[in-house]
Structure 1
Amino acid sequence: MTQTETGPEPEPARSREERKRDVLDHLRQDTDAWVATASRDGVPTLVPLSFLWDEETGTLVMSTRRTNPTAVNVTPGGPISVTLGPTRDVVLIEGEAGIVEGTDLPAPAADAFAAKLRWDPRSRPRWVFLRITPHTVRAWREVNELADRDLMLTGTWLA
């Protein structure tokens, strides 16, 4: 990185294909994300939750107590926003979340969740899974990537 009068010069912009690969790496390797929902009255909730990327279904799987605002806000299904990565390598995901009872999540996903995160919500009676289907995915590092930040629209990858 070189220095300019206003600070470090950003790295060259990544191609859409590179950014998609980087997003998929985040989804596979990251453990935690910021999750935003809103109540029917419009009261926002922002919480950190651990997640699993279920590649077979193309969904994120999270877990929380059924009575927590995040679960209440998306019951039975509703909009949700998820953010991964630091501010200089951000991934924004907007989608639809649905509640899945602990015993109703297919075993491959539930087992993978438990293995990755080293705890199993299926043994906790008041806990549910959230299955999040992405509709929009955006990713960028610096201003030079803002123009092509859309990587998924209406549930379809652009690259």
Structure 2
Amino acid sequence: MTEREPARGPEQRKQDALDRLEKDEDVWVATASADGVPCLVPLWFVWDRGTLLLATRRTNPTAVNVTPSGPVRLALGHTRDVVLIEGTAEIVEGADLPTESGDAFAGKFHWDLRGRPAWVYLRITPATVRAWREANEQAGRDLMLDGTWLV
């Protein structure tokens, strides 16, 4: 029988989620087209002022699927330590990106997409953040609801 770690408290879960947002490089991004065709891709991201900043080609399905309401779902980590984020996405042109945001993305990945018209940035504003490892953390997995941290 596999021994499981004890359940983390909400404060520790939030800190672990924030650590992942600061340090991880890749996030799974799920969107859907207007006719409901799903799209799931990994993209690089930067945790930038309480939002996730990603980049993709403007013609890729992920960018095309971003509507004015921009619903999106993101997942960090593996299945035994997941951070699941639901939020809204907006397209930000490189010329409209705040300098510090563009510098943060370029600094983390050594790749500056500002000034490249084929690319756009996606800014994801979290509305819901959930984090859990095992079944013993299912209860209380909500860390953020309606854009407000619960802990």
TM-score (norm 2): 0.97
In terms of mean alpha carbon deviation, does 61-70 or 120-129 score higher? 120-129
User: How big is the alpha-carbon RMSD for the aligned residues of Structure 1 and Structure 2?
Assistant: 0.9
Q: Distance in 1 between matches of 2:36 and 2:97?
A: 29
Runs ≥4 residues deviating over 2 A: none
Counterpart of 1:144 in 2: which secondary structure?
helix
Pick from 39, 43, 52: which aligns with 1:49?
Answer: 43
Aligned residues of 1:76 and 1:99 also touching (Cα < 8 A): no
> Equivalent residue for 1:38?
32
Tell me the secondary structure at the aligned position of residue 20 of structure 1.
helix
1: CA distance, partners of 2:98 / 2:115: 15
Say whether residues 1:97 and 2:89 are aligned partners: yes
Query: How far apart are 1:71 and its partner, in Å?
Result: 0.4
Give the corresponding residue for 1:17.
11
Aligned residue identity for 2:28: W
1:15: Cα distance to partner?
0.3
- CA-to-aligned-CA distance 1:9-63 (integer Å, 9 cap, x gap): 2111000000000000000000001000001100000000000001x3x100000
Q: Which moved more, 1:73-82 or 1:22-31?
A: 73-82
1:153 aligns with 2:131: no
Alignment counterpart, residue 63 of structure 2, candidates 50, 71, 78: 71
% identical aligned pairs: 69
Alignment partner, residue 54 of structure 2: 62
The structural deviation recorded for 1:77 is 4.3
Q: Alignment length, in residue pairs?
A: 151
Aligned partners of 1:133 and 1:102: how far apart in 2? 18
How far residue 125 of structure 1 moved from its aligned partner, in angstroms, is: 1.5
SS at match of 1:18: helix
The higher radius of gyration belongs to: 1
3-state DSSP of counterpart to 1:67:
coil
Letter paired with 1:51 = F
- The answer (yes or no) to whether the contact 1:75–1:99 under 8 Å persists in 2 is no
Amino acid at match of 2:135: V
The residue aligned with 2:80 is: 88
2:90 matches 1:120: no
> Which residue identity lines up with residue 88 of structure 2 in the other structure?
E
Question: Partner residue of 1:142?
Answer: 134
